[in-house]
């Protein structure tokens, strides 16, 4: 019951002198708050007490994490780029659903997410843990917008240690020069663009002749090729649009490449693969 004097009263299991378990009445001061806020706080306390005693109310219909994921897939996923959806679907299938698929949304709190991220860190990198949590938070956020009861948890509530002393792998300049020298076209030029500009693979494959300005010695980045469907789309974020400098070494490589370049319907710098119209 909820006392009118701002106290929450409930029962917990206590150990009796003979070793048995007996109910013990507890009283907790809620402080000064509105009646509605007091009712919410009392409900939160009772939920925690019931979980501790092993008496958990059944999950309301439509309030499981699996149901929230299905709503997310129908309403949110189609609005995201395929390159964004694929890893999130993989994270859901591989890591998230096996752990939380049968859980109620209200059951997923700080402790559950902390132990989940701690367990993940034993097998995957810090960045993967961060991306998995981003996927999970995205589902929870949409479920909350739809009116579901969701606990407020953010990255700041979790301890996510990042191991130090693990240098990221990279190619040295000498290794890159050897790779470019040994590669055949069009890979020689594709590798050179990646090395000189830092562009993503999808951005390189989406380059057209109009994106190359040899007078201003710049390369325009304003589109991206999906790595699975080869569909050309807008960049993932506004920050991905850029006008990059064309260094002397890259300019020479591009000019030599275009000498034997064969026109294609959309003037892509790289040649379409057989069976793909992109």
pLDDT of residue 62: 57
Provide mean pLDDT across the span 124-133: 92
Can you name the residues that pair with 208 across neighbouring β-strands? 268
Alpha helix locations (H) across 54-109?
65-75, 82-91, 97-100
Q: Is the residue at 85 inside a domain?
A: yes
Structural domain includes residue 199: yes
d(CA 230, CA 218): 24
234 pLDDT more than 90 = no
Q: What is the pLDDT of residue 273?
A: 46
Name the CA radius of gyration of the chain, rounded: 28
Least-confidence region, from 21-25, 128-132, 223-227: 21-25
Measured CA to CA, the distance from residue 91 to residue 85 in angstroms comes to 10
pLDDT of residue 57: 52
- What pLDDT band is residue 51 in, cutting at 50, 70 and 90? low
Let me know if residue 100 belongs to a domain.
yes
Structure-model confidence comparison of residues 129 and 228, the more confident one: 129
Residues 89 and 143 in one domain: yes
Q: Is there a single domain that holds both residue 43 and residue 121?
A: no
Strand-strand pairing, 232-233 and 224-225: antiparallel
Mean pLDDT for 204-229 is: 89
Model pTM?
A: 0.57
**251 and 193 in a common domain:** yes
276 inside domain: no
DSSP 60: P
pLDDT at 72: 95
pLDDT at 117 (0 to 100): 93
In this prediction, residue 54 carries a pLDDT of: 58
Least confident interval from 3-7, 219-223, 262-266: 3-7
Q: If you ran DSSP here, which 8-state letter would residue 59 be given?
A: P
- Sequence-distant (≥ 6) Cβ neighbours of residue 232 within 8 angstroms: 206, 223, 224, 225, 226, 266, 278
Helix (H, G, I), strand (E, B) or coil at 127: helix
131 plus 186 within the same structural domain: no
Flag whether pLDDT at 4 surpasses 50: no
Rounded to the nearest 10 degrees, the angle between the axes of helix 82-91 and helix 126-145 is 100
Is pLDDT at 249 greater than 70 in this prediction? yes
Question: Minimal CA–CA distance to 72: which of 145, 142, 152?
Answer: 142
The domain of 222 spans 173-259
Q: Say if 163 falls within a structural domain.
A: no
Mean confidence (pLDDT) of the chain: 83
Same domain membership, residue 75 and residue 42: no
Q: Report CA 33 to chain centroid distance, whole Å.
A: 37
**Residue 196 pLDDT greater than 60, yes or no:** yes
The pLDDT-based confidence of 5 (bands split at 50, 70, 90) is low
- Give the mean pLDDT of 155-182: 82
| 33 located within any domain | yes
Same domain membership, residue 90 and residue 29: no
Residues 140, 79 share a domain: yes
pLDDT attached to residue 236: 67
What is the per-residue pLDDT for 277?
39
For residue 124, whether the previous peptide bond is cis, meaning omega lies within 30 degrees of 0, is no
Q: Which of 55-64, 186-195, 227-236 has the lowest mean pLDDT?
A: 55-64
For residue 273, being part of any structural domain is answered with no
Q: How confident is the model at residue 30 (pLDDT cuts 50, 70, 90)?
A: confident
SS3 78: helix
Are 153 and 74 in a shared domain? yes
End-to-end CA distance of the chain: 67
- Per the structure, the count of domains in the chain is 3
Does 100 share its domain with 134? yes
Burial class (CB in 10 A: 0-12, 13-18, 19+), 210: exposed
Same domain, 95 and 119: yes
Residue 233 lies in a domain: yes
Structure confidence by residue, pLDDT tens digits, 65-123: 999 999 999 999 998 877 788 899 999 999 999 999 988 898 899 999 999 999 999 99
Report pLDDT for 77: 92
């Amino acid at each position: 019951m909820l006392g009118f004097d701002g106290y929450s009263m409930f029962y917990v299991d206590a150990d009796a002198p003979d070793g048995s378990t007996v109910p013990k009445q507890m009283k907790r001061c809620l402080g000064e708050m509105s009646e509605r806020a007091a009712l919410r706080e009392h409900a939160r306390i009772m939920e925690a007490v019931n979980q501790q005693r092993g008496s958990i109310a059944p999950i309301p219909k439509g309030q499981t994490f699996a149901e929230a994921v299905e709503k997310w897939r129908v309403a949110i996923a189609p609005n995201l780029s395929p390159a964004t959806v694929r890893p999130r679907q993989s994270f859901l299938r591989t890591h998230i659903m096996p752990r939380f698929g049968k859980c109620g949304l209200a059951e997923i709190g700080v402790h559950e997410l902390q132990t989940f991220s701690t367990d993940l860190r034993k097998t995957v990198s810090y960045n993967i843990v961060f991306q998995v949590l981003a996927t999970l938070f995205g589902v929870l956020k949409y479920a909350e917008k739809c009116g579901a009861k969701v606990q407020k948890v953010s990255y700041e509530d979790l301890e996510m240690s990042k191991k130090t002393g693990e240098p990221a792998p990279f190619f040295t300049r000498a290794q890159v020069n050897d790779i470019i020298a040994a590669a055949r076209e069009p890979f020689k030029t594709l590798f050179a663009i990646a090395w000189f500009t830092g562009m993503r693979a999808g951005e390189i494959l989406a380059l057209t002749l109009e994106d190359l300005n040899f007078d201003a010695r710049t390369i325009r980045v304003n589109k991206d090729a999906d790595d699975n469907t080869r569909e050309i789309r807008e960049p993932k974020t506004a920050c991905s649009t850029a006008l990059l400098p064309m260094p002397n070494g890259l300019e020479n490589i591009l000019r030599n490449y275009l000498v034997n370049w064969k026109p294609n319907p959309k003037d892509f710098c790289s040649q379409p693969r057989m069976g793909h119209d992109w």
